[in-house]
């Protein structure tokens, strides 16, 4: 997580190296942390009960402190108003109440570059977090026992110097034998309260998680990895190839390899085929193509005249007395008798808006627009961009097109 700072040299650092502290210096209680007897008495602030209340807000308690009051997240009452509040059945304040209280306190103190520096208001017993983004300065502070981004309990503040120790046990390589340490308050560019730091960390983590979710949503919406299932696109694509497909924003062009849902015309062509008639006579149901996807190459685009001659799709365009014919040399289907004879010799027809003529590079194993006619754009998901299989990596090769010039 990256947080903004109140000065150019200040930045947030990770708490990933931290573990709970005990070590005989602090003992855990039901309400928070209490100084151990061998550490001596906790230094008292001249702010009296107001100080004790704020210390309690940072998770510290003593015999003189009163329990911290937190208004529930769903309550309409203000912090200093008496009234109902949400608590755990055990009597302790619940995580929702604690989070609401922390966010309210952090909102008052600010976030990021607007976070309030508590250097002038912190007192003995407070839990604070030193922040420093300058690497050299941070390293120098670490040598003296002050680690940026770590929570510290203040033992004493006097004469512009602060004596403090970590609020929990650190990693072994960060532990020191001379806790607590003393240093000038001004040596640290920014002191944050525990509440502000934790709230900022929580919001930053939530923002990072939201960013990853947004990226995952975009990737799932606009990108797909498709496994080629058959030999219909050989030799350009072989069975088992993994292809990166991007959702189409612009209309496909001639030569593009498109990934699409099977059109309704395909099921009709299968039902009217020889196999479909046999299945109908024997009262056998043919498996539907619903839920399956195909991958073929674009032969013709809207505005062109497309047809089939000798099982090979072709597109013709004429200007004056000369015609240009683009032939896709796919070859004959393995069982041409299965489908209607017109599938292999179609008269040219103009492709209307949103219609594309598609075919497999290996016509011997491909059922395509030769059988069902033009493919409408609404069925097309996207265009294949790249082969990402380790054994067959690289751009998709061009199709088997031949161009011929004919006179009228």
**Domain 228-407 in the same topology as domain 26-205:** no
Q: What is the mean pLDDT of the chain?
A: 77
Residue 211's pLDDT is: 93
Strand 257-260 and strand 380-389: the pairing is antiparallel
Indicate the pLDDT class of residue 290, thresholds 50, 70 and 90: confident
Report the topology of domain 228-407.
Answer: Umud Fragment, subunit A (2.10.109)
The model's pLDDT over 20-62, given as tens digits with 9 standing for 90+, comes to 444 444 333 333 333 333 344 333 434 344 343 333 333 333 3
Structure confidence by residue, pLDDT tens digits, 95-135: 667 666 666 666 666 655 567 899 999 999 999 999 998 99
pLDDT tens digits for 301-339?
999 999 999 899 999 887 777 788 899 988 889 888 899
Quick: pLDDT tens for 159-171. Answer: 999 999 999 999 9
Cβ atoms of 245 and 279 closer than 8 Å: no
The single residue of 55, 101, 232, 369 carrying the catalytic annotation is: 232
pLDDT tops 50 at residue 365: yes
- Taking CA atoms, 137 is separated from 140, 205, 256, in Å, by 5, 26, 57
117 touches 10 (CB < 8 A): no
Q: Is the pTM of this model over 0.75?
A: no
DSSP bridge partners of 295:
259
Do residues 12 and 200 make contact, with C-beta atoms less than 8 angstroms apart?
yes
Q: What's residue 112's pLDDT? A: 54
Structure tokens at 355: 């219609």
Question: What pLDDT shows up at residue 231?
Answer: 93
Say yes or no to pLDDT of 250 above 80.
Answer: yes
pLDDT range class, residue 73, cuts 50, 70, 90:
very low
In the set 296, 311, 366, 369, the catalytic residue is 296
Q: Distance between CA 363 and CA 311 in Å, rounded?
A: 8
Q: Supply φ then ψ for residue 364, to 5 degrees.
A: -65, -30
Which class would CATH give 26-205? Answer: mainly beta
Strongest mean pLDDT among 14-23, 59-68, 72-81, 374-383: 374-383
Residue 65 confidence (pLDDT): 38
- Can 296 be counted among the known catalytic residues? yes
Q: What is the pLDDT of residue 138?
A: 92
Give how far Cα 41 sits from Cα of 137, 155, 173, 203, 219, Å.
Answer: 32, 9, 29, 36, 58
Mean pLDDT of 292-300: 94
For residue 98, what pLDDT is reported?
Answer: 67
How do the domains of the chain map onto residue ranges? 26-205, 228-407
């Amino acid at each position: 997580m990256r947080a903004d700072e109140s000065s150019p040299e200040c930045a947030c650092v990770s708490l990933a190296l931290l573990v709970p502290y005990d070590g005989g210096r602090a003992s855990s209680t039901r309400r928070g942390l209490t100084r151990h007897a061998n550490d001596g008495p906790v230094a008292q602030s001249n702010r009296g009960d107001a100080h004790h209340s704020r210390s309690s807000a940072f998770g510290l308690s003593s015999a003189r402190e009163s329990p911290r009051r937190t208004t529930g997240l769903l309550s309409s009452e203000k912090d200093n108003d008496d009234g109902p509040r949400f608590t755990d059945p055990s009597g302790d304040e619940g995580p929702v109440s604690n989070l609401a209280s922390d966010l309210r306190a952090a909102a008052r103190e600010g976030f990021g570059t607007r976070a309030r520096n508590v250097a002038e208001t912190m007192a003995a017993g407070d839990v604070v977090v030193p922040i420093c983004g300058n690497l050299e300065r941070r390293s120098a502070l670490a040598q003296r026992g002050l680690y940026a981004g770590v929570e510290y309990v203040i033992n004493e503040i006097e004469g512009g110097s602060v004596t403090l120790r970590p609020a929990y046990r650190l990693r072994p390589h960060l532990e020191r034998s001379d806790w607590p340490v003393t240093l000038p308050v001004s040596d640290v560019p920014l002191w944050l309260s525990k509440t502000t730091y934790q709230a900022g960390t929580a919001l930053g983590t939530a923002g990072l998680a939201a960013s990853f979710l947004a990226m995952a949503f975009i990737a799932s919406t606009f990108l797909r990895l498709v496994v080629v299932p058959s030999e219909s696109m050989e030799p350009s694509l072989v069975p088992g190839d993994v292809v990166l497909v991007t959702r189409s924003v612009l209309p496909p062009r001639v030569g593009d390899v498109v990934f699409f849902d099977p059109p309704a015309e395909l099921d009709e062509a299968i039902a009217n085929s020889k196999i479909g008639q046999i299945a109908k006579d024997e009262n056998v149901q043919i498996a539907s193509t619903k839920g399956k996807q195909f991958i073929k190459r674009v032969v013709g685009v809207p505005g062109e005249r497309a047809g089939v001659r000798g099982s090979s799709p072709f597109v013709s365009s004429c200007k004056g007395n000369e015609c240009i014919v683009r032939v896709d040399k796919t070859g004959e289907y393995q069982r041409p008798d299965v489908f209607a004879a017109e599938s292999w010799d179609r008269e040219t027809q103009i492709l209307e808006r949103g219609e594309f003529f598609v075919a497999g590079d290996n016509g011997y194993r491909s059922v395509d627009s030769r059988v069902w006619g033009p493919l409408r754009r609404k069925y097309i998901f996207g265009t294949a961009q790249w082969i990402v299989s380790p054994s067959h990596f690289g751009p998709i090769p061009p199709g088997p097109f031949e161009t011929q010039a004919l006179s009228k």
